[in-house]
Amino acid sequence: MIVFTRFVMRIKLLFVITVFLACNIVLAQDTCTSKILIDADKLTVSCGSRVRLVYPYRSVPAKPYVKELTTPSGVNILRDAPHDHLHHHGLMFAVKVDDTNFWEEKNKFGLQLHRSFRNMNILGSRQNWETVFTDIIDWTSFDAQKVILKENRNLTLAQSDNATVLTWQTVLKTFETVQQVKIGGSNYFGLGMRFVKSMDNNGTFINATDKEGETLSGKQRLVLAKWCAYQSAVDGKPVTVAMFDHPKNFRPVTWFTMLKPFSYLSATLKYHENPFVLKSKDELSLKYGVAVWDGKQSKEVIEKAYQKWVKPKKSKK
C-alpha cells in the first residue's frame, strides 16, 4: 500500500508530501491530514479519519469507477452493483463505441483497463483542501486484445463551503491504429450515478431551469440545464447531490433522471439522437462536477457552488 499525505495545521500551514509503505499515521487534535492511499485494487482519498472517496481500479468487472463519495460528515451516497443492475457501479462513465457497449456488462462488452496513475497532488488548508490524480485507461474489446480508445481521466476532489466537490474530466483519443469511432448509446449513457438504497423512490430532482423536461416512460425524464440536483436522505440523514455541466463541453448536458423503480442521475449528451464521431488526432474532452452536501440545500446554495466550480480560484501552493 502506498500513502500520499499532506499535513495541514490550523495556525501555521506545514506542507509535507510523503510516500510510505504500509504505514499508520496518528493525528494530533489540531491537525487535518489529507491522504491518498493506493493498494493493489483501489485508491482511497481521506481527510483525517473520514473516507471521502473510494476508487476501485483493478479487480473490477469492466471499468474503474467511484464506489464511495461522501458528504463532509462522512455519509456515502453511492451504491455499487445492486442485484437489479449489476453493471451500475456508483459513479461511472461509459458509452457505446461503434458496436462495443461499455455500459452494460453482457454480450462481449467493452473493458476499461487501468494502466497507471499520474499527477498525484494534495493542496489547500484544513477548511478547503484538494486532492488530484489522473488515471490512464485503455478502452478495449472484451478479450482485451484490441485497444479502441485511450483515456486520461483527471479526478479532483475538494472540500469547499460545506460541500464535497468532485471534478471529473475525461479526455478521449482514438488508439493510434484507429481512424475514427462513433460514440453513441442509450439516452442515459454518459456519467451516471446510482444512489444508495435508502435514497430510492423518496427524493426530489431539481435543476437550474425549474423545467420538468421531456417525459420518458414512467418517472424518467430528460432535461437541459447547467446543473441538476437530487434531494433525499440516507438512513434518515438529509443529503443533497448535484451534478454540474461545464460550459466548455462540446454539447450542453441533458440530464437523465429517474425516481422509480430506483433513483438515478446521469449527465448525457443525447448520444442516442446525435452520436459523436471522434477522428484520429482529435480528442473529446468532457468535464463534469459532482457536489455532495449534508442536509437539504436550496437552489441558491447549489447555484453558488456551481458558479464557484465553473470559475475556481487558483489553489495556493
Fold category of 66-310 in CATH: Beta-galactosidase; Chain A, domain 5 (2.70.98)
The Cα–Cα gap between 43 and 279 comes to 32
Count of other CB atoms within 10 angstroms of residue 158: 23
Interval 48-53 mean pLDDT: 92
Interval 24-48 mean pLDDT: 71
User: pLDDT tens digit string along 112-129?
Assistant: 999 999 999 998 766 677
The Cα–Cα gap between 186 and 199 comes to 24
Per-residue model confidence (pLDDT) at position 127: 63
Q: What are the residues whose beta carbons fall under 8 Å from the beta carbon of 210, sequence distance 6 or more?
A: none
Higher pLDDT, 9 or 170: 170
Per-residue model confidence (pLDDT) at position 17: 31
Per-residue model confidence (pLDDT) at position 49: 87
Interval 204-209 mean pLDDT: 98
Q: Is-contact 155 286, C-beta < 8 A?
A: no
Query: Is the pTM above the cut of 0.85?
Result: yes
User: pLDDT tens digit string along 276-316?
Assistant: 999 998 999 999 999 999 999 999 999 999 999 999 876 55
pLDDT band of residue 205 (cuts 50, 70, 90) is: very high
Nearest to 122 by CA among 207, 198, 52, 174: 52
The Cα–Cα gap between 76 and 237 comes to 11
